[in-house]
Every structure is written in structure tokens, then in C-alpha cells.
Amino acid sequence: MGKLQGEPNQNLLYVRDMLEQLLTIVPNDAGPVLPYLIDMARLEASDLVLHVDPDSSDTRPPE
């Protein structure tokens, strides 16, 4: 897969939204781990949206 083009914030919002959609289609018999991991990734994307510098392509949160 290629690198997403565009604003880092928009890319993170897209990833977060896709993860939310994945949570809705995870089968009930998948067990607790898969929904947990998807939710943790969604929360991480949400946190990064809050910390992304609009003038930078760096999406790491400040230390």
C-alpha cells in the first residue's frame, strides 16, 4: 500500500473513522482481544489528532 497523501490530521481522522467502522463489524465470536486492539488503535489515533502539528508531518505526541 502507498503512503496516504494529504494533511496528517485528515489522515488520522480517516484512520480513526475506519477503526470505528471495523469495531461495528467484528464478529461476536472473535473474542475480546480483537475488539480491544482495534479500540486501542482508535484511541491512539484520536489522541494523535489532538497532538498533531498542522505545520509538520510528524504525528508523534509531544514528550
Break the chain into its structural domains and give their ranges.
Answer: 28-54
How distant is the alpha carbon of residue 31 from its chain centre? 21
* Grid cell of 57 as nine digits: 508531518
pLDDT at 7: 82
Please check the confidence at residue 27 and state whether its pLDDT lies above 80: yes
Q: What is the pTM of this model?
A: 0.70
d(CA 8, CA 52): 7
Please check the confidence at residue 59 and state whether its pLDDT lies above 80: no
5 phi, psi to nearest 5 deg = -100, 155
pLDDT: which is higher, 29 or 6: 29
